[in-house]
Structure 1
Amino acid sequence: MTFSLAIVGRPNVGKSTLFNRLVGKKLALVDDRPGVTRDRREGEGRLGDLTFRIVDTAGLEEATPASLEGRMRAQTEAAIGDCDAILFMIDARIGLTPTDRAFADLVRKAGKPVILVANKSEGRGGEAGTLEAFGLGLGDPVPLSAEHGEGLSELYDAICDGLPEQTRLEEEDEDDEDAEDEAPVEGEVAPEKPRRPIKVAVLGRPNAGKSTLINKLLGEDRLLTGPEAGITRDSISVNVTYAGIPLEVFDTAGLRKRSRIDDKLEKLSAADGLRAMKFAEVVVILIDATRPFEEQDLRIADLVAREGRALVIGYNKADLVARGGLATRLREEIDHLLPQVKGVPIVPVSGLMGHGLDKLVAAIVSAHKVWNKRVATNPLNRFLQQVTENHPPPAVSGRRIKLRYMTQPKARPPSFVLFCSRTDAVPESYIRYLVNGIRETFDLPGVPIRLTLREKDNPYAD
């Protein structure tokens, strides 16, 4: 039986470090300064033979509900309400603070099993703080070092004691009976496997409305939003089902020009967003309609194309600008400035009002389908014969270039191989001519197309 744990505590006690330790990956951003984590991040944790859902939360701070810290605290309280048990963490080297005592009362009122964790307890420096933690009245503290992986066996025992029903091992006989019950009866049709969600990364400049748009798709305030620019730091993944279409959407930090980034934490956030883009299948670049298509948007789109991902452009806050002319102007600019993804879908949306979400999801599905498209070899070679008859390759140094045949070895993105003579002599302009012809002939709008030239070995070369 699976269960969920929420790691809570004041800022800079090591919650994200423990989260990374339990999921086995460096998913959450970690830095020495307090308040790095803002949104709650979920992951699949493992400890011994236990598998569970682990939630990293923002540091608990006393603040007004309307402030950024107050909204972060509301996210943490939502994580506490959804979990089965709470890992309440303190800093053993600093000892108990009035903030720890205040939030211990908050955790106690939740009425859920609480596991008290005294982090940074390695060496003698943490002994006093660990002993002092008994004063919270939350049970025996578990001395732990999330950075060095010490004390995880004691944490395993504490989780088993706190959640005996969820952590007990089921008998093998029961598993065998369940397996027999689940086996399909002869003559019955096996149920269809659920469709794998499309991985979508939402990129854009700061304050373009990425988190607001994802919250509207999800139907709840899952991600932290506000008028301040640069709220999102971690790349948070959420599962969304919209109109029956499953999506795994990654919210990312706003990407500014590299020359303007001086803060180390912003560099980490930008790198985390680019990493999410590399693992995505479709990338939605969100543009602020009140500041349409600046140079930074062009840089992001070019980066996505070079990475080989399907692309959808949504201009957000479309309800704030006058209708007419903007979509046409964007289409002309994008086709001119981004010929490598000519025909990319452009969708007007309003993340705040929820307008255009159905068209955005339909564009994502269409781009994903084109990104996975494969073309048979026979139509490719008929296309090659036709384009070479209409416009043969130029003769370089008085010698003709022979284009023999073409095939598509893989998709995601569509990649083609052209076998020809003198690959180093084929002009770039002619390669662009072939790529544009492939895009128009086989209906491949909005995705990067890879064309590799290959030359067969000459048997008489020696």
Structure 2
Amino acid sequence: MSFTVAIVGRPNVGKSTLFNRLVGKKLALVDDTPGVTRDRREGDAHLGDLSFKVVDTAGLEEATGDSLEARMRRQTDQAIAEADVCLLLIDARAGVTPLDKRFAQILRKSPTPVILAANKCEGGAGQAGRMEAYELGLGAPLPLSAEHGEGLSDLYDALAAFADGFAENDEEQALEDALADDEAEGFDPDAPYEPDLEAPLRIAMVGRPNVGKSTLVNQLLGEDRMLTGPEAGITRDSIGIEWLWRGRRVKLWDTAGMRRRARVVAKLEKLSVADTLRAIRFAEVVVVVLDASQPFERQDLHIADLVEQEGRGLLIAVNKWDTVTDTQTTLRMLKEELERLLPQIRGVPIVTLSALTGRGTDKLMPAIERVHTFWNARVSTAKLNRWLEETVSRHQPPAAKGRPVNLKYMSQVKSRPPTFAVFSSRADEVPTSYRRYLVNGLRETFDLPGIPIRLFMRKGRNPYAKKK
């Protein structure tokens, strides 16, 4: 199991710069303006042979009530509570400020272990500020330069001390964790799926700018909840709305339009796109809204592929259908294009509608419920192994180095999305093409259209491996 490191500190001390350095990508926006980061952002970090999850947080500020700063502060407090290690960052060039002292006092009372680091120490410019940091009572401050990558070896040593007992989060370990979680939560693949009516059904509306996402949300709600208009890009933030549909709670996100990455230049639009991606991760079913006059542009396919990578249920809503003349021919062409362009998630349902007039919008929520049911699908182990035996008898896996590859058995590890594990003593030698063959067979046999399917090849343990 991996461990989690939360980077905290007052605004503009370099938390996002260090976050980007650890994950090896420019995921978090960095600017000289304080307060650019508002929400928690998570990433997979690597430092030497250490692999862990790192969380970038908003700058710690003294704020109460329901102000924006207070909400940001609560997000940071939650990140600290959920982390295994907290990395408190100060600006060594600015020295220790009263705000640094205040939050060091808070962190000393927290049960989460704390590592103190003095950033911006390149060239010895922050040496005096680093010496001041001893008064915070959190041990010796590590000298760092997040921008230039200096001092990471010291950070490695500090994190390695906390990493004892945590195994590397590889694929096999992730499967074992999932099996343990499912057993603890009472996951039973033989039990029929029953929706939890107490938990809200989480839906995200995504798509290119000006395809009618906000208008569609207003039509579903029956009120002008979202600001709409002919201009593209009116919606900037991902707005979450709770409502009831046929007695069932629904959490619906209206998101900002996502343009091609090359066209996203303004900082505010970058933040909006990041917010949309977070909405996709929080959703259970994602509705990709298309414009009937310009369906399946490259950006639409990119968005759909993002949804599949995140493992969410997918549904295509073709808006402005009232402008289409030959509806039957157009619908047939859309389905053919969808099968050709998105072969990894075959059978994605298409709903045609007009958000402006309301025509066809009554079909959307029932279709979303069906996708949600497929996304929660469970298949009994007995059925899976009968299917595996028949499937392998029709098409054996290719031999590797002249030796046959035997697939012993399989089981469903989890749902949401359906995840399966196939056990074999030579699991590493099963080619990707054969895995796709198994996934397509699962989708067709057990009626799982339009949702991602995860299939892991797991190597069985040899009980005599440790015996001489």
Output the TM-score relative to the length of structure 2. 0.58
Letter in structure 2 aligned against 1:340: Q
Partner of 2:249: 246
List structure 1 runs of 4+ shifted beyond 4 angstroms.
Answer: 30-33
Q: Is contact 1:217-1:240 (8 Å) kept?
A: no
CA-CA distance at 1:387 after TM superposition? 0.3
Partner of 2:363: 359
Letter in structure 2 aligned against 1:386: E
CA-CA distance at 1:31 after TM superposition? 12
The structure 1 residue matched to 2:428, chosen from 411, 424, 428, is 424
Q: Distance in 1 between matches of 2:255 and 2:361?
A: 19
Q: Distance in 1 between matches of 2:68 and 2:435?
A: 49
Matched, 1:443 2:454: no
Q: Is contact 2:204-2:252 (8 Å) kept?
A: yes
SS class of match (2:457): strand
Q: Distance in 2 between matches of 1:280 and 1:302?
A: 15
Q: Distance in 1 between matches of 2:425 and 2:213?
A: 48
Q: Distance in 1 between matches of 2:32 and 2:371?
A: 37
Q: Distance in 1 between matches of 2:460 and 2:296?
A: 44
Q: Distance in 2 between matches of 1:239 and 1:458?
A: 51
Q: Are residues 254 and 390 of structure 1, via their aligned partners in 2, closer, same or farther at CA, if it must alter by over 3 Å?
A: same
Once the two structures are overlaid, the 10-residue window that deviates more, 355-364 or 244-253, is 244-253
Corresponding pairs, count: 285
CA-CA distance at 1:238 after TM superposition? 1.0
CA deviation vs aligned residue, 1:12-38 (integer Å, no higher than 9, x gap): xxxxxxxxxxxxxxxxxx9989xxxxx
Q: Distance in 1 between matches of 2:306 and 2:224?
A: 30
The structure 2 residue matched to 1:407, chosen from 411, 425, 431, is 411
Q: Distance in 2 between matches of 1:244 and 1:194?
A: 9
CA-CA distance at 1:341 after TM superposition? 1.3
Q: Distance in 1 between matches of 2:201 and 2:361?
A: 16
CA-CA distance at 1:330 after TM superposition? 1.3
Letter in structure 1 aligned against 2:400: V
Letter in structure 2 aligned against 1:436: N
Partner of 1:379: 383
Matched, 1:295 2:271: no
Q: Is contact 2:425-2:460 (8 Å) kept?
A: yes
Q: Distance in 1 between matches of 2:354 and 2:305?
A: 24
Q: Is contact 1:340-1:449 (8 Å) kept?
A: no
Once the two structures are overlaid, the 10-residue window that deviates more, 421-430 or 399-408, is 421-430
Q: Distance in 2 between matches of 1:358 and 1:216?
A: 10
Q: Are residues 194 and 300 of structure 1, via their aligned partners in 2, closer, same or farther at CA, if it must alter by over 3 Å?
A: closer
Partner of 1:205: 208
Q: Which structure would you say has the larger Rg? A: 1
Gaps in structure 2 of 5+ consecutive residues: 1-30, 35-62, 70-98, 104-195
Q: Distance in 1 between matches of 2:424 and 2:442?
A: 17
Matched, 1:261 2:264: yes
Partner of 2:314: 311
Q: Distance in 1 between matches of 2:282 and 2:314?
A: 14
CA deviation vs aligned residue, 1:327-383 (integer Å, no higher than 9, x gap): 111111111211221101100011111111221111100000110111110000000
Matched, 1:454 2:466: no
Once the two structures are overlaid, the 10-residue window that deviates more, 228-237 or 320-329, is 320-329
Q: Is contact 1:207-1:230 (8 Å) kept?
A: yes
The Cα RMSD (Å) is 2.6
Q: Is contact 1:401-1:426 (8 Å) kept?
A: yes
Gaps in structure 1 of 5+ consecutive residues: 1-29, 34-46, 57-144, 150-192
Q: Percent identity?
A: 55
Q: Is contact 1:217-1:357 (8 Å) kept?
A: yes
Q: Distance in 2 between matches of 1:348 and 1:383?
A: 35
Letter in structure 2 aligned against 1:373: A
Q: Distance in 2 between matches of 1:55 and 1:213?
A: 28
CA-CA distance at 1:242 after TM superposition? 3.3
Q: Distance in 2 between matches of 1:55 and 1:351?
A: 32
Q: Is contact 2:285-2:315 (8 Å) kept?
A: yes
Letter in structure 1 aligned against 2:245: Y
Q: Are residues 268 and 436 of structure 1, via their aligned partners in 2, closer, same or farther at CA, if it must alter by over 3 Å?
A: same
Letter in structure 1 aligned against 2:431: P
Q: Distance in 2 between matches of 1:420 and 1:408?
A: 15
Matched, 1:274 2:254: no
Q: Is contact 1:196-1:246 (8 Å) kept?
A: yes
CA-CA distance at 1:456 after TM superposition? 1.2
Matched, 1:231 2:234: yes
Q: Residues 27-176 of structure 1 correspond to what in structure 2 (within 5 A)? A: none
SS class of match (2:408): strand
Q: Distance in 1 between matches of 2:424 and 2:378?
A: 21
CA-CA distance at 1:429 after TM superposition? 1.0
Q: Is contact 1:377-1:407 (8 Å) kept?
A: yes
Q: Distance in 2 between matches of 1:293 and 1:364?
A: 20
Q: Are residues 32 and 376 of structure 1, via their aligned partners in 2, closer, same or farther at CA, if it must alter by over 3 Å?
A: same
